[in-house]
Homo-oligomer: A and B are copies of this chain.
């Protein structure tokens, strides 16, 4: 019987968390599977993945250099952990299924080991070596058993690609045709750009310029030479912008959006199907024929036992509530239809509000019920009380904006802190503390933490000031941020604003899922570091080195890149790489970031000087690479930007087939 319950528990929690693993149903395998899914094991795996990814900080080119033996040892530990996890997985599922799912992880681990060995051997013998397997590391995040959601997103993108590619090809065709027109119209006119170079004479350059114009990054500079001479040519650019920037890009977005959505819907449908199937399996393990007409049912005793196993920390009231929802006719047993809903029910958050007397009322009942005390409590619960404090916050905002070195302003801060503390104390007096700090009272927590931290910060700061006259800039920064954060409370007072914030918070997790797409950045950062490390150098502003003017690379002499002091945009370590990639994502002036890096990159033939002949290839390569990065990321961003309807995603937590919006749910 225990084994049956174990198996049923596994089915139900698999359904609840949408796991899709075809595990072995033998008792031993089920127990191993339970261990495999234990939160501690999962956290451990993620910890190792993060450590593995963080190695980029310490490996050459490093932010904090560590010797090779240290990083290698850490990496070997991580890889061993992944191997152990794989062995565990192999024990859980049938032998014949093993190579279906985790083969990617095995490949990554094996390749990493090989790379590590080669690298170690080459380095110890003094040869040049590249850690190419570092590119594979972020893929672990996707291929690990828990990366289902991310895999789903990737799969939807992959499935949507064919449709998207047609629009993209047509768009490229349009750009190519427009470039040809531009070449013919402007090429022979001998026009010059602002810096005096010939304008629109090379076909590939035109294609690139017009391609960039789609992102609007070089507008309006790129059109000046043409339109300054003949106003009529403006029509060419207007047409181009309308057709390519607006129509095609929007069409592209629309196609991506609708296709991605279509495929994601299909994925979710499959998920719901799989979930129902699992719940049916669980039901078939526990049912007995007892209902009218001998139909199979599950008794309350068995059900209680199952729920306790699935969710050990559920309280009795909550469990009783769930049962009363399922067994609405009080029969003492439920059929298949009701049983299947359990997985969905368990995902619903139930807030338990216990009406308890205030602790002060218990200790000092006469004082707490005195007229003065009653009056205070009455005032605190008034709408007016909130308005008064909103006004105080507004006044505080003005004070924050003023110069804090003025003694009046810095003393006023103590006053404001006192007022805020008073507010919290009054509220705690009027409301039962446990209710005040209930989990769903976000703003109460927010207020208290902000104010108490600010209080401590201010006290520490003034203590430091009085003792040594020295104030840490960092502490001041934190205090200032805490002060400004208080202002956010204003949002909560306006109903409409609160609604908007609630929606944003609701779609937050979805956006965070896409945050995992940091893997794309990581891969590009790795490749970029291998290609560009050390090519561009940043010198401190007070450095006297003559190289400062051209970022330490003679090829950048006199370029806008160096002039605008873009030298910090380099791939010299993983942090800089991430910043550069982020800047490329946000588009603008990336033209500058990009071309500078490309110019610098041509220092492969450093002693030869910039050779015009070999220039086209690598620059185009990098351009395409950087565009790709933008395209993929931009695409994903745009996707979740537009998809503000959370239904498609939260389905996992609250599926469609929950058809009782019982008032009991909201109130209990």
Contacts and interface: CB of A to CB of B under 8 A. Distances in A.
A491 B243 CA distance: 15
Interface in A342-401: 397, 400-401
B481 A253 contact: no
A608 interface: no
A568 B227 contact: yes
A236 to B, nearest CB: 9
Interface in A102-144: none
Given A497-B166, A641-B250, A224 B177 contact: no
Interface stretch (A7-15, A178-186, A296-304, A453-461): A178-186
Contacts of A234: 579
A587 B579 CA distance: 23
Count of this chain's copies in the oligomeric assembly: 2
Contacts of A216: 586-588
Most chain B beta-carbon neighbours within 10 Å: one of A245, A404, A541, A579:
A579
A477 B541 CA distance: 51
Interface stretch (A88-96, A150-158, A482-490): A482-490
B170 A219 contact: no
Given A181-B480, A480-B184, A251 B397 contact: no
Interface string A591-602: 001000000000
Contacts of A564: 194, 221
B644 A250 contact: yes
B484 A180 contact: yes
A432 to B, nearest CB: 32
B500 A166 contact: yes
Nearest to A404: B184
A560 to B, nearest CB: 11
Contact of A241 (B166, B503, B586): B586
Given A219-B589, A220-B589, A588-B220, A227 B579 contact: yes
B251 A177 contact: no
A247 interface: yes
Contacts of A632: none
A633 to B, nearest CB: 11
B491 A587 contact: no
B401 A220 contact: no
A218 interface: yes
A532 B183 CA distance: 35
Contacts of A401: 180, 183, 203
Contacts of A250: 640-642, 644
A502 B579 CA distance: 42
Interface string A198-242: 000001000000000000111111001001100100100010010
A541 B193 CA distance: 12
Given A221-B589, A491-B170, A497-B166, A238 B582 contact: yes
Interface string A558-577: 00000011101100000100
Given A167-B500, A217-B588, 11 more contacts: A166-B500, A169-B497, A170-B501, A177-B484, A181-B480, A181-B481, A221-B564, A231-B579, A234-B579, A246-B641, A254-B641
